[in-house]
């Protein structure tokens, strides 16, 4: 069964990403294969968040197992459920816990990448704020009340949370700027919400608030934002954080444990249902989870909460726990993937003859002979080569695909180093 027809822009972005060997941000659903059970499990979590609950998921997989792609699928499913989604990759300058601005930097990156169904590419923070205001205006007209009374009444729900009073004051300042056309005040309000103020004095002069979003406020501010998103008419907030292996790489034990303690706090809070309409999906490698010296299992409280169900053995599975493990796709699933890649490539360009079904198996055999088991473990080269094959066949009508395969050598990707690998570049074992 072919994938639905892609919009031209979406098709081009998808093919360009795959040809370059990077995880596609657009069109991922059109090339999804396998992972049905994992996706169904995450969708249940998303439904719980949309109903006002909370969820925590740690997605664990080897380099190239498809964590980034899988998380992109989850983000798309979340936006379909009217959730606001914010995503970011951790790196040495962006962490969950720090004292030198790294946690604030991570928060700012999340706010920059905030996305909704109508604005899936990010930059949706201002859209969320203005939806809150327009929703309040509509409610005021319906009730015959003053807009400012409705806005202050709805913002009062935030004041009970940590930093809630200042958050509400900033939203109120944006409302005043919205009414008076004060663009400078609007910009300052958005800057505060993005965590871009670094000095309290500057925030007081610009907005009249005493606090700013710093390292210590990282998680509390996300809880506030989740509740605000629901007040704005969305169903909640999903936070997607990838490359958590960067925490595992921290040489300083104190800094590493501080980040693990923050993960423990988030896990406890969400599993206990203390946060409203908030979910976290974190992506990491098996070493990041299991290493008893530097991984999450080096922190006893996390080890006890993230340990496998002792009754899971052989072919048995349990996907209800906080850890979701991703394995590599099998050969048959990869053949199905190639069929979907061809359908996506030919979307809107059906003037060329498609490859027959046997070509997919022949191509996989070709890759296995030339590349070996890395065909499945780190399949960037395989997928890039297949897109290249389709491009040559499209631009050179009459070329025999079998002869082309026999005459072409596909070199393994020697840039891949398992000890220090950028998961974004090899996470194309697609879900």
- DSSP string over 185-231: HHHHHHHHHTT----HHHHHHHHS-S----GGGHHHHHHHHHHHHHH
pLDDT in the model for residue 294: 94
pLDDT digits (tens, 9 = 90+) for 399-409: 888 888 887 76
pLDDT digits (tens, 9 = 90+) for 357-366: 888 888 888 8
- Residues 94 and 240 reside in one and the same domain: yes
Nearest of 66, 67, 74 to residue 376 by alpha carbon: 66
Note down the domain range covering 372: 1-34+329-415
pLDDT digits (tens, 9 = 90+) for 228-244: 999 999 999 999 999 99
In the chain, how long is the greatest CA-to-CA distance?
76
pLDDT in the model for residue 181: 92
**What share of the chain has pLDDT > 90, as a percent?**
51
Per the domain annotation, does 396 fall within a domain?
Answer: yes
Q: Is 325 helix (H, G, I), strand (E, B) or coil?
A: strand
- If one counts the domains in the chain, the total is 2
Say if CB 128 and CB 277 are below 8 A apart: no
Say if CB 247 and CB 288 are below 8 A apart: yes
The pair of three-digit structure tokens given for residue 14, joined into one six-digit string: 């998808």
pLDDT in the model for residue 258: 96
- Residues 237 and 364 reside in one and the same domain: no
- Residues 112 and 235 reside in one and the same domain: yes
Among the three residues 269, 302, 326, which one is the final residue of a domain in this structure? 326
Q: Tell me the β-bridge partners of 145.
A: none
The pair of three-digit structure tokens given for residue 403, joined into one six-digit string: 């002869």
CATH number at residue 244: 3.40.50.300
HSE-up of 160 (CA within 13 Å, CB side)?
6
Model confidence at 185: pLDDT above 90: yes
Model confidence at 410: pLDDT above 80: no
Per the domain annotation, does 397 fall within a domain?
Answer: yes
pLDDT in the model for residue 340: 87
Model confidence at 225: pLDDT above 50: yes
Q: Tell me the β-bridge partners of 119.
A: 116
Per the domain annotation, does 92 fall within a domain?
Answer: yes
d(CA 382, CA 380): 5
Model confidence at 137: pLDDT above 50: yes
Model confidence at 162: pLDDT above 90: no
pLDDT in the model for residue 422: 38
Per the domain annotation, does 279 fall within a domain?
Answer: yes
Question: pTM (2 decimals)?
Answer: 0.83
What confidence category does residue 426 fall into, taking pLDDT thresholds of 50, 70 and 90?
very low
Determine which of 32-41, 283-292, 388-397 has the lowest per-residue pLDDT on average: 32-41
Per the domain annotation, does 173 fall within a domain?
Answer: no
Model confidence at 418: pLDDT above 50: no
d(CA 264, CA 270): 10
- Residues 241 and 387 reside in one and the same domain: no
- Residues 369 and 246 reside in one and the same domain: no
- Residues 333 and 410 reside in one and the same domain: yes
Model confidence at 319: pLDDT above 50: yes
Mean model confidence pLDDT for the chain: 85
pLDDT in the model for residue 108: 96
Q: Tell me the β-bridge partners of 279.
A: 55, 238
Determine which of 45-59, 102-116, 129-143, 149-163 has the lowest per-residue pLDDT on average: 149-163
What confidence category does residue 310 fall into, taking pLDDT thresholds of 50, 70 and 90?
confident
pLDDT in the model for residue 372: 62
Q: Which helix H or strand E contains 312, and what residues bound it?
A: none
Model confidence at 345: pLDDT above 80: yes
Per the domain annotation, does 60 fall within a domain?
Answer: yes
- Residues 236 and 251 reside in one and the same domain: yes
CA quadruple 338, 344, 346, 350: dihedral sign? positive
Q: For the chain, what's the residue count?
A: 431
Determine which of 21-25, 34-38, 59-63, 80-84 has the lowest per-residue pLDDT on average: 21-25
- Residues 18 and 5 reside in one and the same domain: yes
pLDDT digits (tens, 9 = 90+) for 248-304: 999 999 999 999 999 999 999 999 988 999 999 999 999 999 999 999 999 999 999
CA quadruple 193, 198, 199, 205: dihedral sign? negative
pLDDT digits (tens, 9 = 90+) for 98-118: 999 999 999 999 999 999 999
- Residues 320 and 336 reside in one and the same domain: no
What does R_g of the chain's alpha carbons equal in angstroms?
A: 24
- Residues 343 and 379 reside in one and the same domain: yes
Per the domain annotation, does 152 fall within a domain?
Answer: no
- Residues 273 and 318 reside in one and the same domain: yes
- Residues 360 and 406 reside in one and the same domain: yes
Per the domain annotation, does 405 fall within a domain?
Answer: yes
DSSP string, 58-118: EEEE-TTSSHHHHHHHHHHHHHHTT-EEEEEE-BTTB-SS-SSSHHHHHHHHHHHT-BBTT
What confidence category does residue 431 fall into, taking pLDDT thresholds of 50, 70 and 90?
very low
Say if CB 158 and CB 224 are below 8 A apart: yes
CA–centroid distance for 257 within its chain: 24
């Amino acid at each position: 069964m072919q994938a639905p027809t892609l919009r031209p822009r979406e098709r081009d972005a998808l093919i360009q990403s795959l040809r370059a060997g990077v995880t596609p941000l657009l069109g991922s659903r059109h090339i999804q294969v396998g992972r049905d059970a994992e996706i169904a499990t995450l969708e249940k979590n998303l439904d719980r968040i949309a109903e006002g609950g909370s969820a925590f998921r740690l997605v664990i997989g080897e380099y190239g197992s498809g964590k980034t792609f899988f998380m992109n699928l989850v983000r798309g499913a979340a936006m379909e459920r009217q959730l606001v989604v914010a995503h970011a990759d951790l790196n040495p300058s962006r962490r969950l816990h720090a004292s030198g601005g790294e946690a604030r930097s991570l928060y700012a990156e999340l706010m920059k990448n905030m996305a909704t169904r109508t604005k899936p590419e990010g930059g949706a923070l201002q859209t969320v704020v203005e939806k809150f205001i327009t929703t309040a205006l509509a409610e005021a007209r319906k009730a015959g009340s003053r807009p400012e009374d409705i806005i202050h009444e709805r913002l009062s729900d935030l004041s009970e949370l940590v930093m809630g009073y200042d958050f509400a004051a900033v939203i109120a300042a944006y409302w005043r700027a919205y009414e008076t056309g004060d663009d400078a005040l609007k910009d300052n309000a958005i800057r505060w919400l993005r965590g871009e103020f670094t000095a309290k004095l500057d925030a007081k002069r610009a907005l009249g608030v005493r606090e700013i979003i710093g390292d210590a406020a990282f998680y509390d501010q996300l809880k506030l934002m989740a509740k605000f998103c629901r007040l704005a008419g969305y169903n909640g907030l999903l936070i997607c954080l990838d490359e958590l292996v960067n925490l595992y790489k921290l040489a300083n034990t104190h800094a590493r444990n501080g980040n693990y303690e923050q993960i423990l706090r988030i896990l406890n809070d969400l599993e206990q249902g203390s946060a409203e309409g908030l979910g976290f999906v974190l992506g990491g490698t098996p070493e990041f989870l299991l290493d008893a010296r530097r991984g999450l299992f080096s922190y006893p409280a996390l080890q006890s909460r993230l340990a496998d169900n002792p009754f899971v053995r052989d072919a048995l599975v349990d996907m209800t726990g906080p850890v979701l493990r991703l394995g590599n796709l099998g050969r048959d699933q990869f053949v199905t993937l190639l069929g979907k890649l061809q359908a996506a490539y030919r979307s809107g360009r059906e003037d060329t003859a498609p490859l027959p079904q046997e070509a997919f198996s022949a191509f996989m055999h070709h890759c296995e002979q030339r590349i070996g088991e890395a065909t499945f473990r780190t399949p960037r080269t395989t997928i890039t080569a297949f897109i290249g094959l389709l491009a040559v066949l499209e631009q050179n009508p009459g070329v025999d695909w079998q002869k082309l395969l026999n005459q072409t050598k596909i070199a393994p990707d020697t840039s891949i180093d398992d000890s220090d690998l950028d998961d974004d570049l090899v996470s194309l074992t697609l879900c």
